[in-house]
């Protein structure tokens, strides 16, 4: 009978220990989420992210050479974060240009997550300009998600500034074009006007558009640049040096009548099984601009292991933060409850441990 009671006591002590450790873990986890939420709420982020005149004005011209980064189709991925962290260690960079699909869907939470990761994980000290992609803006009304979370063209403008944008840096012209599916060829008017008014006498001209020309990716199934023949005529006549594109999750390039055409959509989005192996890797480009030449440094990232901490952050951001918005006190209450229960279960564990020792004592003697 004593042996049976001892086994029951041991079993109860083990149960209380497991419960205690579980609830203390939940206490730690909820405390970590509270800190994450407070950091998110207190961020003075977004200032350097977007097509704003203020961002172009803070660029410090020091002449040639200078460097800038280009990435595309990151889709809020961990791979993109790793690529950008690698790029931070590659010397002085003046700015970053993202050629679209920085999020998975045109949802306000996706965009906030994108901005938050840049501000908290990458922490760039330079401006980030954006050429929107097909995943970034919801151009046509739909029932997808809550209406107040939809990122329409107007919401995008309020967050990031102009969808099409240009600036001059070190006598080089940079033009970012939106492709609006409601008026797909309007980009040609913006491009023509900007090249006509700002292009003369520039040392280099660079253009950034999410959709690549069909002849560049040679894929009939993907969306491509509207009215691309007029586009080629335009960039060739104004002697554009390089055009950069995304959308296609890989790397490709051609040269046509002196104009370089580069697709670099491997910034972190899924690599498709139907893609040819050549160019099928995750990457970003660092462009080094010299007075008499331009060179490229390609950064490649292959490791795609699961980051548990990031997945917990992602879950909290998309599933918990919308619930506790304006009710942050609920997080503190839950954390306190976990702590109280964890402490209580630990006390029960010690109680049964002592009871077990008292029972073992007489039996051993």
Q: Express each pLDDT in 317-341 by its tens digit.
A: 777 777 777 777 777 788 888 888 8
* Calpha distance 353→15 (Å, rounded): 11
| pLDDT of the residue at 182 | 94
Q: Mean pLDDT across the stretch 206-216?
A: 92
- pLDDT above 90: residue 302: no
- pLDDT above 80: residue 53: yes
| pLDDT of the residue at 274 | 67
* Calpha distance 309→26 (Å, rounded): 14
- pLDDT above 90: residue 196: yes
With 0-12 CB in 10 A as exposed, 13-18 as middle and 19+ as buried, what is 65?
A: middle
| pLDDT of the residue at 176 | 97
| pLDDT of the residue at 246 | 93
144 vs 91, residue with greater confidence: 91
Average pLDDT, the chain: 85
Strand partners, 67: 288
| pLDDT of the residue at 2 | 58
* Selection from 219, 295, 223 nearest residue 73 by Cα: 223
Q: Mean pLDDT across the stretch 179-195?
A: 95
- Confidence category of residue 365, pLDDT binned at 50, 70, 90: very low
| pLDDT of the residue at 155 | 93
Model pLDDT for residues 261-278, shown as the tens digit of each residue: 999 999 888 887 767 777
pTM: 0.83
Strands (E), the chain: 66-71, 96-98, 128-130, 165-169, 172-177, 204-209, 242-245, 251-256, 259-264, 282-289, 294-301
- pLDDT above 70: residue 45: no
- Confidence category of residue 356, pLDDT binned at 50, 70, 90: low
Q: Are 99 and 244 in contact (CB under 8 A)?
A: yes
| pLDDT of the residue at 1 | 43
Torsion of CA 4, 10, 14, 16, to 10 degrees: 90
164 vs 312, residue with greater confidence: 164
| pLDDT of the residue at 307 | 73
- pLDDT above 90: residue 90: no
Q: b/e map of 315-352 (b: 16 or more CB within 10 Å)? A: ebbeebbeebeeeeeebeebbeebbebbeebbebbeeb
- pLDDT above 80: residue 5: no
Most confident option among 122-131, 234-243, 304-313: 234-243
Tell the CATH topology of 61-309: Purple Acid Phosphatase; chain A, domain 2 (3.60.21)
CA angle 228, 229, 232 (to 5 degrees): 85
- pLDDT above 90: residue 181: yes
Q: Residue holding tokens 């070190």?
A: 170
- Confidence category of residue 121, pLDDT binned at 50, 70, 90: confident
Q: Mean pLDDT across the stretch 234-258?
A: 92
Q: Are 264 and 37 in contact (CB under 8 A)?
A: no
Model pLDDT for residues 10-38, shown as the tens digit of each residue: 777 788 788 888 888 888 888 877 777 77
Q: Output DSSP code: residue 271.
A: P
- Confidence category of residue 6, pLDDT binned at 50, 70, 90: low
* Selection from 222, 47, 52 nearest residue 129 by Cα: 52
Provide CB contacts within 8 A for 15, sequence distance 6+. none
Domain ranges in the chain are: 2-42+329-364, 61-309
């Amino acid at each position: 009978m004593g042996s049976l009671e001892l086994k029951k006591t041991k079993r109860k002590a083990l149960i209380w220990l497991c419960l205690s450790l579980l609830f203390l873990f939940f206490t730690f986890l909820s405390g970590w989420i509270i800190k994450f939420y407070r950091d998110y709420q207190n961020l003075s982020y977004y200032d350097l992210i977007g097509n704003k005149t203020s961002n172009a004005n803070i660029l410090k011209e020091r002449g040639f050479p200078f460097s800038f980064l280009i990435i595309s189709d990151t889709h809020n991925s961990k791979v993109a974060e790793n690529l950008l962290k690698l790029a931070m260690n590659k010397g002085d960079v003046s700015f970053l240009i993202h050629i679209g699909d920085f999020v998975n869907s045109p949802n306000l939470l996706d965009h906030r997550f994108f901005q938050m990761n840049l501000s908290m994980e990458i922490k760039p000290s330079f401006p980030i300009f954006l050429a929107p992609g097909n995943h970034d803006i919801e151009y046509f009304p739909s029932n997808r998600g809550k209406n107040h979370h939809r990122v329409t063209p107007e919401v995008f403008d309020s967050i990031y500034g102009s969808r099409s944008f240009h600036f001059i840096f070190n006598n080089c012209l940079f033009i970012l074009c939106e492709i609006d599916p409601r008026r797909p060829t309007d980009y040609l008017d913006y491009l023509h006007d900007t090249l006509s008014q700002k292009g003369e006498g520039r040392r280099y001209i660079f253009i950034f558009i999410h959709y690549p020309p069909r002849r560049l990716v040679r894929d009939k199934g993907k969306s491509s640049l509207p009215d691309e023949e007029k586009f080629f005529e335009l960039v060739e006549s104004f002697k554009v040096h390089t055009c950069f594109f995304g959308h296609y999750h890989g790397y490709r390039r051609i040269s046509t009548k002196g104009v370089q055409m580069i697709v670099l959509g491997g910034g972190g989005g899924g690599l498709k099984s139907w893609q040819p192996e050549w160019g099928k890797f995750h990457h970003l480009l660092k462009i080094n601009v010299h007075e008499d030449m331009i060179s490229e440094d390609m950064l490649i990232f292959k490791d795609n292991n699961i980051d548990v901490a990031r997945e917990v952050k992602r879950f909290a951001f998309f599933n918990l933060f919308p619930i506790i918005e304006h009710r942050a006190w609920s997080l503190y209450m839950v954390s306190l409850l976990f702590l109280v229960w964890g402490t209580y279960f630990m006390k029960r564990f010690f109680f049964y441990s002592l009871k077990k020792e008292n029972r073992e004592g007489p039996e051993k003697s």
